[in-house]
Amino acid sequence: MWALGGGLFLGWSIGANDAANVFGTAVASRAIRFRTAALLTSAFVILGAWLQGAKGLETIGALAPQTLRSAAVCSAAAALAVTIMTWLGLPVSASQAVVGGIIGVSLWGGNIEFAPLGKILVCWVATPLSAMLVALIVYNLLGAVMSRLHVSILSRDRILWHALVVVGVYGAFALGANNVANVTGVFHGLGLFDSAEVLNVVGALAIALGAVTYSRRVMMTVGASLIRLDAFAALVAVSAEAVTVHVFAFIGVPVSTSQAVVGGVLGVAIMRGGDLHANVLRNIGVGWIVTPLAAAVIGFTAYGLCPF
């Protein structure tokens, strides 16, 4: 059980950096309080992991054969890389960190399976692009629906705020279904628990803890620093993120909610011709590149120094 410590650390890191991003735009636009958003995220991440989290285990588990030692180092390396990016206030991909950690450890003689790795790499590129496309579609559909509602501006905003909470809950569920494999995938098949569902619930609890304790800063980076969002734009961005992440959960590839929500925000910006903060966008892109490299270096070094 000692080996699971790295995974639980990673789960906390995902919660701190990724999990509450499903409500980041809502918090930034003041549609919901941070505490309420974090608690809702936690509850539905656990539910999503329990009901639909098993499929992604196979993809992560197929990258390379693991022992308790290698699994512990992989997850700890990924967690440390994600935590550093979180401290810097940058939304990153836990999936990239996990894969980077696995590759770093595998340089000591492990075997990387390139078929699942190629599948994951394609999905990394497709995630923000898919979310951007979904955002364009949702923007037009939602705009058409709202234009047919003959209500006051105040009532319109109330409808959007309530819808934003509902979509955020769905996004949290999709996150649990998709991203818990980042926490538990390297431990799949090592006999730590009787079933994959139990293993996933343990990982989801760690994600929930991170969402509650340390996710506010990245929420504000995605929700406010990139482009200011009103309730309508926030609803579009979160809807795009939720749909995209859930689709990849069915495919069985863990992807980043941060990449998806940034893609959704960019879709809104395209529709509105908004002025993006280019320096923030550049820093986010740098974080996505540096994260797997940092996790690989940490994993390689830690495994060589690891005495157990």
Residue 222: predicted pLDDT: 61
Share of the chain above pLDDT 70, in %: 91
Nearest to 48 by CA among 165, 130, 169: 169
Q: Which amino acid is at 18?
A: D
Is 144 a member of any domain?
yes
Which residues, other chains included, contact 271 with Cβ-Cβ below 8 Å and sequence gap of 6+?
135, 136, 139, 140
Q: What is the mean pLDDT of the chain?
A: 85
Checking if the pLDDT of 166 tops 80, the result is yes
Calculate the alpha carbon distances from 304 to 44, 243, 285, 307 in Å: 38, 40, 30, 8
Is 308 a member of any domain?
no
Is 291 a member of any domain?
yes
Checking if the pLDDT of 245 tops 80, the result is yes
Residue 26: predicted pLDDT: 74
Is 139 a member of any domain?
yes
Q: For 83-115, write each residue's pLDDT tens digit.
A: 887 777 666 788 899 999 999 999 987 788 888
Q: For 25-74, write each residue's pLDDT tens digit.
A: 677 767 788 888 889 999 999 999 999 998 888 889 888 888 888 998 99
Tokens of 284: 């986010």
Q: For 107-154, write each residue's pLDDT tens digit.
A: 987 788 888 899 999 998 899 999 999 999 999 999 999 989 888 888
Is 117 a member of any domain?
yes
Where would I find the H helices in the chain?
A: 4-17, 24-28, 34-52, 55-61, 68-87, 94-106, 114-147, 153-184, 196-214, 216-220, 231-251, 257-272, 278-305
Residue 100: predicted pLDDT: 94
Tokens of 170: 């769905």
Count of domains forming the chain: 1
Q: How far apart are CA 218 and CA 211, in angstroms?
A: 10
Q: Output 307 or 193, whichever has higher pLDDT.
A: 193
Q: How far apart are CA 294 and CA 80, in angstroms?
A: 9
Largest CA distance in the chain: 68
**Domain limits at 10?**
4-303
Checking if the pLDDT of 162 tops 70, the result is yes
In total, the chain counts a number of residues equal to 308
